[in-house]
């Protein structure tokens, strides 16, 4: 089965600070204490549910259902450049793990429609420690989608209306933080985002709005804590070329 083209939107996902090591039951409780987590609309991943997202196609399909609304296997196949047999299989797997539900109000008897069961997923590395391989596969899939989305945004920037060109931005800062400060910063960003998020993606969007992606990653600079940065093969911490924090508009 071929991989789909880089055409799916970003699935909303979050990383939460860990509960007690190996304490899967605590994942949802810990996520519930994080700003913007709503147990009615968001899902805290554990080792069992994580296996349902271990395939990159499922991550892409879930992203489409969350951002574009309900769809059939045929529609998803056309969107991703796959055959409907493949998307049907992945939909069944997503349903088995609780990520999608059948949209019975849209079905015609011939076509089965599916919708995302949650607004976003929250990944907890300790809760998912029982299946580290699936966890790594999921995170790599999400990271790849983030990177692909950025590249496509750059490619189409010149075709955007001027007002959207003016507000589109890509920024990068290297900060000196403690783990506690990093946690605080992440929570503060989530608080800022809270009023801009809609609980029901199927509700009509306000006039004048457009689907807008906000990405942020917060992690130690690769190599900064003594590990080897696979990209550079160096044990030394890498730094921006300027040696300073940088911000750039795309």
The pTM (predicted TM-score) of the whole model is 0.69
Q: Could you tell me if residue 174 is inside a domain?
A: yes
Q: 70-117, pLDDT tens digit by residue?
A: 999 999 999 999 999 999 999 999 999 999 999 988 877 678 999 999
The CATH code of the domain that includes 156 is 1.10.10.10
Tell me whether residue 17 is in a domain. Answer: no
**Predicted pLDDT of residue 228:** 60
pLDDT for 126 equals 73
246 part of a folded domain: no
Q: Answer yes or no: is 156 within a domain.
A: yes
Confidence at residue 128, expressed as pLDDT on a 0 to 100 scale: 66
Using an 8 Å Cβ cutoff, are 102 and 112 in contact? yes
d(CA 237, CA 90) in angstroms, rounded, equals 40
Rounded CA gap, 249 and 166, in Å? 9
Domain extent at residue 161: 36-194
What is the predicted pLDDT for the residue at 35? 59
What tens-digit pLDDT sequence spans the chain (250 residues)?
333 333 344 445 544 433 222 333 334 445 555 656 777 788 888 878 888 887 889 999 998 998 888 999 999 999 999 999 999 999 999 999 999 999 988 877 678 999 999 988 888 777 667 778 888 888 888 899 889 999 999 999 999 999 999 999 999 999 999 999 999 999 899 889 888 887 666 778 889 999 898 998 999 999 999 766 555 554 433 344 433 343 433 3
**What pLDDT, on the 0 to 100 scale, is given for residue 76?**
96
Q: What pLDDT sits at residue 201?
A: 67
Residue 36 makes CB contacts below 8 A (sequence gap 6+) with: 190, 191, 193, 194, 197
Predicted pLDDT of residue 70: 94
Give the pLDDT score at 86.
Answer: 96
Q: Is residue 159 within 8 Å of residue 225, measured between CB atoms?
A: no
- Which helix H or strand E contains 121, and what residues bound it? strand 120-123
Question: Looking at the domain assignment, is residue 18 inside a domain?
Answer: no
Domain-located, residue 70: yes
Bridge-partner residues for 123, per DSSP? 15
Q: At 68, is the secondary structure helix, strand, or coil? A: helix
Number of structural domains found in the chain: 1
* Residue 242 within a domain: no
Contact yes or no for 26/37 (Cβ under 8 A): no
- Predicted pLDDT at 240: 42
Residue 8 inside a domain? The answer is: no
Output the six-digit token pair for 233.
Answer: 């093969």
């Amino acid at each position: 089965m071929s991989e789909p083209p880089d055409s799916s939107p970003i699935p909303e996902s979050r990383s939460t600070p860990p509960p007690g090591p190996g304490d899967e039951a605590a994942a949802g409780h810990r996520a519930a204490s994080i700003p913007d987590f709503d147990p009615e609309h968001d899902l805290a991943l554990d080792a069992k549910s994580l296996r349902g997202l271990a395939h990159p196609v499922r991550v892409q399909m879930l992203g489409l259902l969350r951002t574009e609304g309900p769809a059939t296997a045929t529609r998803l196949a056309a969107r991703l450049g796959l055959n409907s047999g493949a998307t049907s299989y992945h939909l069944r797997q997503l349903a088995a793990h609780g990520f999608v539900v059948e949209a019975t109000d849209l079905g015609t008897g011939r076509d089965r429609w599916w919708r995302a069961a949650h607004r976003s997923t929250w990944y907890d590395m300790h809760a998912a420690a029982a299946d580290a391989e699936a966890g790594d596969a999921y995170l790599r899939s999400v990271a790849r989608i983030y990177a692909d989305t950025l590249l496509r945004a750059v490619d189409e920037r010149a075709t955007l209306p001027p007002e959207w060109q003016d507000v589109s931005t890509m920024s990068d800062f290297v900060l000196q933080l403690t783990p506690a400060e990093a946690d605080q910063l992440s929570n503060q960003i989530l608080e800022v985002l809270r009023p801009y998020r809609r609980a029901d993606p199927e509700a009509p969007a306000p006039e004048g709005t457009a689907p807008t992606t906000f990405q942020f990653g917060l992690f130690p600079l690769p190599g900064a804590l003594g590990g080897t940065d696979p990209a550079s093969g160096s044990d030394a911490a890498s730094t921006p070329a300027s040696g300073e924090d940088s911000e750039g508009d795309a």
